[in-house]
Amino acid sequence: MSNILLQIGIWVRNFSILLYVTDKTNNDPIAVSLISVAEFSPIFLFAFIGGTFADRWRPRRTMIWCDFLSAAAVGVVLLALVYESWAAVYFATFLSATLSQFSAPSSMKLFKRYVPQEQLQSAMGIFQTLMALFMIAGPSIGTIVFQNFGIHVSIAVMGVASLLSALVLIRIPRDEAVTPSADAKQTTVLTEMMAGLRYVWKSRVLRTMCITFLLAGLSGGIGQTMGIFVVTERLGQPKEFLQYVLMISGIGMLIGGAGVAVLSKKMAPVKMLALALAVCTVGTIGVGYSTNVPVTLTLQLFMGMIFPMIHISINTIMLKSSEAAFIGRVSGIMGPMYMGAMVLMMAVAGPLKTVMPLTVIYTISAVFMLAGTISLLPLFKQQPSERPDTSLSA
């Protein structure tokens, strides 16, 4: 229930801010790209740190405080909007995304604590289905709220959703106080982070995955930012049409989630990931060059269908190539690797749009994705279960 409330608030906020900024700046590409930078840069900046601290803090209390702080930030942003400081919407997105880097790892700890081991995979499937459903419904909800009530109410929805989420989380049993051992007291955040970095560097599989993540992030940053210009320039549709493009992607995710379970039993995760990235390469080229609405929507459907392939392949590779004690830090390293590259490209995409046609920008994106696909080839003959020597973590 907490996640549902937050997803409603996030989608209303994100889509309302997108429409609001395009109205205020007359579709300025740099202003639009800054929205994505504000949303995704905290993942690069704070994911590793947030995950490390989340292991030290009590998860229930961490999540409740993050929700309360997010609601308080909404109040500050609304006050700024009253005084016509419209750029404050960037701050709302940035702070909310920053707090998520501390609350999200805590939610996974609660997830593992209260869900039986044999039901974890099914529960994660339900969680992914929920995300896909909001990919379908979220853009429409955000557009309806913004068009009928304006930016002030749209931002307020996020604050109310955060407060309600905190109230829901209060019903969870209190965290048990855990007294750290002598060894744990001697371990600092910095030493834990350095051990994680050494662990990833010593694993050929994880090193290669970092390169793949970097290249895929460079590609994804363009698509994340330039989607609205595909709608307005290539398809000749109003910017509100973007909600239907995202809905089609969400439908594809639902379909792909059902089919990937069968495919994963017949194909190695590295090969499945390479196939998914190859399909993304073709889809990216097609979206960038298409001027036909049905063609673009069909491509978005197929790209949505392969998203579960990417998600499951990556998680499987990381789990098989990492020990349990390092999984959190491995994820905390690889996630920011992807997001850092994505945020960099988001920041660059806006200025590029002012000097290059959209087709060239999407071609660059496809080249990065193709390079990511090729980077996986050396792993085709490698056993994904190979793990680095754990003596380095001592």
pLDDT per residue as tens digits for the range 311-337: 777 777 776 777 756 766 777 777 777
- Of 390 and 271, the structure prediction assigns the larger pLDDT to 271
- Of 359 and 239, the structure prediction assigns the larger pLDDT to 359
> Please, what is the average pLDDT of the chain?
80
Residue 119: pLDDT above 70? no
- Of 297 and 138, the structure prediction assigns the larger pLDDT to 297
Amino acid at 223: G
Q: Distance between CA atoms of 3 and 315, rounded to whole angstroms? A: 21
Q: In this predicted structure, what is the pLDDT of residue 107?
A: 74
Q: Distance between CA atoms of 334 and 318, rounded to whole angstroms? A: 9
Q: Report H helices in 322-379.
A: 327-355, 358-375
Give the CA count within 13 Å in the CB-facing half-sphere of 155.
27
What the chain holds in terms of domains, given with CATH numbers, is 1-174 (1.20.1250.20), 189-377 (1.20.1250.20)
The average pLDDT across 342-366 equals: 87
Q: Distance between CA atoms of 195 and 289, rounded to whole angstroms? A: 45
Q: Report H helices in the chain.
A: 2-25, 29-56, 59-82, 88-114, 120-170, 182-186, 189-202, 204-229, 242-264, 269-289, 293-321, 327-355, 358-375
Q: Distance between CA atoms of 221 and 127, rounded to whole angstroms? A: 24
**Quick one: pLDDT band at residue 178, thresholds 50, 70, 90?**
low
- Of 331 and 383, the structure prediction assigns the larger pLDDT to 331
% of residues, the chain, pLDDT over 70: 83
Residues 6+ apart with CB under 8 A from 157: 8, 9, 12, 13, 145
Residue 82: pLDDT above 80? no
Q: Distance between CA atoms of 55 and 53, rounded to whole angstroms? A: 5
pLDDT, tens digit (0-9, with 9 covering 90-100), for 94-113: 888 888 877 777 776 676 67
The average pLDDT across 18-43 equals: 81
Whole-model pTM over 0.85: no
User: 97 in helix, strand or coil?
Assistant: helix
